[in-house]
């Protein structure tokens, strides 16, 4: 008896099909420029930070008497430790640069418009998580700036009414910045980085669900192509450029983003003349220090967060492409200049005229979402007027 050929059903692979849907066959607008490459690059940077942070953590000792020497041990005695430490320390600055460029690109091209409001909100959450995670790692070397940074970060919570001092005591593990603080920051530094990674996956999924914006501002379903192979050839150009820039920074100027006082062991009895945060933190640091009252200074950070979340519901213009909105371009350039000014003010001493300039810049920064809809609304009014009154255009000609 001859048996026929048996056909076995091929089991479905949901993981492979999902990866294929999001990474290979995902329809993407064909006119995306290189500026859109900062989105995937912002997802790669956290993975680099995790890898370069895990191995040095094996040699780090979170103790006030040993932390500084353990960092020097990583730099001098551990094979490849110097490279890993510089990659991790400077990678935080590189990550912030990529994220800022990604955010500014989204603001310039109005990528927050409907139906991508949820994508924008997830991006802001990732940005805020990054702001929270970075200072925790800055404390671990336990140099002079690290110690003072821990003091400033934890004491900021004391501005919260009623429960402020309880939170400060919990963060420090006691009544002052000491060994318990070093242990807590070392433990906490390993948890928050994984939260932005998970949020980044949600951000990517939401972006693929609603589609990407494009420079021309037309609907993303008008002209789309598969991600592979076009963008798999185009995006690495920006990644290679970023890798070259990072390599030059790491190999030739690894300490340019740090502060010389942080290479001095922490001494509670000696206060540096001027406490300066890391290069990616001054714009945020400049806002609370410009207000004399501690509670008011901490509360002033809230309008900045709200200003980042505010653009999604704003829909004021028929035209989304910024190339056709010259007034919006000028407002956006003023916004970039104001952000750069805040970054500079955050590195200056708390004295006149820097305090006054910081206050004005902080107000202007938070008012950006309220100003940007004005040109679009004026354009809509003019467009509706000439649409409903075509005889006006005829008489004028």
Judge whether 60 is annotated as a binding position.
no
Identify the residue with better confidence: 326 or 179: 179
Domain boundaries, the chain: 24-140+189-256, 281-397
pLDDT at 25: 76
The sign of the CA dihedral 73, 184, 300, 145 is negative
Say what the pTM is. Answer: 0.82
* CATH T-level fold of 24-140+189-256: Cytochrome Bc1 Complex; Chain C (1.20.810)
Residue 71 makes CB contacts below 8 A (sequence gap 6+) with: 60, 85, 140, 141, 142
pLDDT at residue 74, rounded to an integer: 92
Q: What is the pLDDT of residue 385?
A: 63
Residue 95 DSSP SS3: helix
pLDDT in the model for residue 396: 45
Q: Specify the range with the lowest mean pLDDT, choosing from 35-39, 133-137, 173-177, 220-224.
A: 220-224
Nearest to 317 by CA among 365, 382, 388, 386: 382
Catalytic residue ranges: 208, 212, 234-235, 278
Segment 40-89, tens digit of pLDDT: 888 888 888 888 988 888 899 988 889 999 999 999 999 989 999 999 98
Q: CB count, 10 Å around CB of 33?
A: 12
- Model confidence pLDDT, tens digit, residues 293-335: 777 777 777 666 666 666 555 555 656 667 777 788 888 888 8
Residue 203 is assigned to a ligand binding site = yes
- Over residues 211-255, the pLDDT tens digits come to 777 777 666 566 777 788 888 888 888 889 889 999 998 999 888
> 73 among the known binding-site residues?
no
pLDDT at position 68 is: 92
Percent helix, strand, coil in the chain, to 5, is 65, 0, 30
- Most confident among 85-94, 298-307, 344-353 (mean pLDDT): 85-94
């Amino acid at each position: 008896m001859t048996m026929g050929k048996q056909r076995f059903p091929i089991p479905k692979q949901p993981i492979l099909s999902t990866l294929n849907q999001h990474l290979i066959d995902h329809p993407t607008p064909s006119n995306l420029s290189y500026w859109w490459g900062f989105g995937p690059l912002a997802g790669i940077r956290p993975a680099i930070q995790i890898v370069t942070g895990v191995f040095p953590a094996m040699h780090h000792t979170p103790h006030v008497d040993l932390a500084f020497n353990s960092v020097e041990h990583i730099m001098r005695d551990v094979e490849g430790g110097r490279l890993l430490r510089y990659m991790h320390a400077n990678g935080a600055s590189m990550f912030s640069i990529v994220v800022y460029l990604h955010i500014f690109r989204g603001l310039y091209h109005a990528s927050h418009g409907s139906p991508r409001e949820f994508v924008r909100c997830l991006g802001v959450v990732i940005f805020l998580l990054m702001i929270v995670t970075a200072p925790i790692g800055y404390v671990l070397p336990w140099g002079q700036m690290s110690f003072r940074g821990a003091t400033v970060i934890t004491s900021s919570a004391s501005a919260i009414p009623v429960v402020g001092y309880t939170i400060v005591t919990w963060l420090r593990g006691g009544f002052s910045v000491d060994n318990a603080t070093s242990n807590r920051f070392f433990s906490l530094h390993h948890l928050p980085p994984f939260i932005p990674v998970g949020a980044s996956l949600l951000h990517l999924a939401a972006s693929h669900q609603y589609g990407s914006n494009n420079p021309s501002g037309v609907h993303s379903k008008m002209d789309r192509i598969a991600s592979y192979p076009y963008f798999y050839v185009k995006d690495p150009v920006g990644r290679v450029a970023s890798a070259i820039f990072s390599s030059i920074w790491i190999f030739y100027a690894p300490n340019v983003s740090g502060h010389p006082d942080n290479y001095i062991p922490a001494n509670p009895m000696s206060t540096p003349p001027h406490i300066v945060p890391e290069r990616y933190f001054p714009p945020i640091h400049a806002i609370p220090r410009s207000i004399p009252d501690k509670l008011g200074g901490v509360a002033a950070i809230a309008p900045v967060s709200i200003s980042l979340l505010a653009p999604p519901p704003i829909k004021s213009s028929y035209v989304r492409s910024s190339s056709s909105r010259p007034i919006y371009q000028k407002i956006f350039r003023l916004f970039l200049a104001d952000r750069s000014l805040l970054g500079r003010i955050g590195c200056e001493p708390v004295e006149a005229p820097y305090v006054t300039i910081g206050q004005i810049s902080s107000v202007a920064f938070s008012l950006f979402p309220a100003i940007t809809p004005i040109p679009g609304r004026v354009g809509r009014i003019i467009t509706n007027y000439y649409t409903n009154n075509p005889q006006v255009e005829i008489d004028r000609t």
